């Protein structure tokens, strides 16, 4: 599928007002709509004001949708089932996982510990009725002669904001119909047809329910494994709501430490809480070392992993989402190891940018020299999710010259993707903010298999996160971005 020419795309984008006084009239309407439709976060916790523990604040959003090339959007949506299959096959290739992750050495303690738990699980022969993949593939639109969607990363654990993303699309449609964006739209147009439908509000709950059915115990429950003091509660509650209202499946919310304290594994490998069987443990936590401050959290996760309960993701899926896997996939012949059809493999590769190791191989040493010589062309990534960990620009030489050769193995180098900026309007903390922004598009993927048969393999909707153009990171929960929806051009 051919991409749209950059010049043509830029000419077709709408022009939004940057006059905050003129736009102030929309704030009350926006904030009230958010409150009425669950587009909310918990307020930041404080030790002095106990009432704030239950206080709610509007989620950070854009006032109007942001332009994305329709051809790029259609391409990555159509590609998602292929990526679901690719990463499922990676997760089942034990030799590939071992050889790839062992190349990290001891450079990353957290990934090493997850890897050792995976090996222990295999050794003990823990059997699971199925795998459930809740993925998200993230892209930036690279501005060359033609605009092309280039993959930033593939998330296999705790891919968030699916629910709130769909609600933001509803908000933008509402604002268009209610106001016509009369004072915001200075040139160009916005039509309802340009804001695509988004099934991400329901797809995750339906995917979990499909796996729940394969577990084969209708009276069991789902446990959503959450972080203590979670602020992004309502994005998660929409999943819980879907499970109950559509599938009549009860969901409990527990931290890993609470699983350690309240759950047991019986002689039949069933994970139980107060005698109630747990069919699925859906992780909205567990992707970073900060989620395991003590041995209690690791013990809680191991209870899930050694039991019959379906962990979402499985340990193999978690490891398949590591940055090192992403880097090795870019090597010649690796995608083709998992995808036989040459045309399909080529479509996957078209979304890749340059990815390089930073180890002591000849390729790694060359990449290190490249990064030191022209750091502004690259981003350095550790084996982390959640935002705030990547290293950019002048900070790259500082990092690479301060870590040991062994520690450097834990990072990869990636070509920097340069998306075209756009002048947008954000609503954060009840205030209008005008800014030059770039947007990162995520496509959710739902994959369910019993090991022999694929039960579900589909794209599950989309997320658009928009950040100031001069901010490198893009995580909403980490405070770098706002939730948006695409305006297809």
Catalytic site positions: 136, 153, 155, 160, 323, 381, 385-386, 465
The answer for residues whose C-beta is within 8 angstroms of residue 375's C-beta and 6 or more apart is 392, 393, 394, 395, 396, 397
Instruction: Using alpha carbons, list the distances in angstroms from residue 77 to 11, 168, 232, 290.
Output: 24, 19, 25, 32
Helix (H) or strand (E) holding 417: none
- Round to whole Å and give the CA distance between 236 and 176: 27
Question: CA nearest 86: which of 359, 351, 409, 442?
Answer: 351
Mapped to the 3 state alphabet, what secondary structure does 168-192 carry?
HHHHHHHHHHHHCCCCCEEECCCCH
Q: Give the 3-state secondary structure of residue 403.
A: coil
**What does the alpha-carbon distance between residue 371 and residue 414 come to, in Å, rounded to a whole number?**
9
Reading phi first (left if > 0) and then psi (alpha if -120 to 50, else beta), residue 117 is in alpha
Q: Are 422 and 438 in contact (CB under 8 A)?
A: yes
Question: Using CA atoms, how far apart are residues 61 and 483, in angstroms rounded to an integer?
Answer: 5
Strand, coil or helix: what is 39?
A: coil
Q: Which is nearest to 66 in space by CA: 439, 461, 420, 467?
A: 439
- Distance between CA atoms of residues 300 and 106, nearest Å: 24
Tell me which residue has tokens 């929409």.
238
Burial class (CB in 10 A: 0-12, 13-18, 19+), 296: middle
**Inter-residue contact 86 to 338 (CB < 8 Å):** yes
b/e string for 329-363 if b means 16 or more Cβ within 10 A? bbeeebbeebbeeeebbebbeebbbebbbbbeeee
- Cα separation, 404 vs 134, in Å, equals 35
Structural tokens at position 468: 């100031």
Token digits of residue 453: 């048969």
């Amino acid at each position: 599928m051919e991409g749209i020419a950059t010049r043509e795309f830029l000419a077709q984008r709408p022009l939004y007002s940057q006059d905050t006084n003129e736009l102030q009239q929309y704030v009350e309407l926006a904030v009230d709509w958010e409150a009425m439709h669950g587009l909310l976060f918990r307020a930041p916790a404080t030790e002095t004001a106990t009432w704030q523990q239950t206080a709610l604040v509007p989620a950070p959003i854009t006032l109007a949708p942001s332009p994305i090339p329709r051809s790029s959007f259609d391409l990555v949506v159509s590609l998602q089932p292929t990526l679901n299959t690719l990463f499922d096959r990676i997760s089942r290739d034990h030799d590939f996982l071992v050889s790839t992750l062992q190349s990290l050495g001891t450079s990353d303690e957290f990934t090493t510990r997850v890897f050792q738990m995976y090996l222990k699980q295999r050794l003990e022969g823990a059997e699971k009725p199925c795998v459930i993949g809740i993925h998200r593939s993230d892209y930036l639109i690279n501005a060359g002669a033609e605009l092309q969607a280039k993959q930033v990363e593939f998330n296999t654990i705790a891919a968030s904001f699916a629910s709130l993303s769909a609600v933001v699309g509803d908000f933008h449609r509402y604002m268009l119909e209610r106001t016509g964006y009369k004072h915001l739209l200075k040139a160009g147009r916005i039509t309802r047809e340009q804001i695509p439908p988004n099934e991400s509000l329901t797809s995750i709950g339906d995917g979990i329910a499909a796996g729940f059915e394969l577990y084969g115990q209708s009276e069991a429950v789902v446990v959503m494994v959450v972080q203590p003091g979670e602020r992004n509660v309502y994005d998660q509650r929409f999943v819980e709501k879907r499970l109950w209202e559509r599938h009549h499946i009860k969901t409990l919310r527990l931290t890993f430490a609470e699983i350690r304290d309240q759950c047991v594994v019986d002689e039949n490998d069933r994970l139980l809480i107060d005698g109630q069987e747990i069919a699925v443990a859906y992780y909205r936590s567990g992707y970073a070392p900060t989620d395991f401050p003590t041995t209690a959290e690791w013990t809680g996760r191991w209870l899930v992993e050694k039991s019959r309960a379906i962990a979402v993701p499985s340990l193999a899926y978690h490891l398949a989402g590591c940055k090192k896997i992403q880097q090795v996939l870019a090597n010649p012949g690796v995608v083709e190891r998992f995808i036989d059809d040459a045309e399909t493999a080529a479509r996957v590769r078209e979304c890749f940018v340059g990815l390089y190791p930073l180890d002591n191989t000849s390729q790694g040493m060359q990449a290190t020299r490249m990064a030191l010589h022209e750091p502004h062309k690259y981003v350095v990534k550790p084996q982390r999710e959640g935002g705030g960990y990547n290293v950019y620009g002048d900070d790259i030489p500082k990092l690479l010259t301060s870590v040991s050769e062994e520690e450097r193995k834990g990072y990869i180098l990636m070509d920097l993707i340069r998306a075209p900026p756009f002048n947008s309007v954000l609503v954060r903390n009840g205030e209008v903010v005008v800014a030059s922004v770039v947007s990162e598009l995520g496509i959710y993927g739902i994959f369910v298999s019993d090991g022999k048969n694929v039960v579900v393999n589909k794209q599950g909707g989309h997320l658009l996160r928009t950040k100031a153009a001069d901010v490198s990171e893009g995580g909403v929960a980490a405070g770098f971005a706002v939730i948006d929806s695409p305006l297809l051009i």
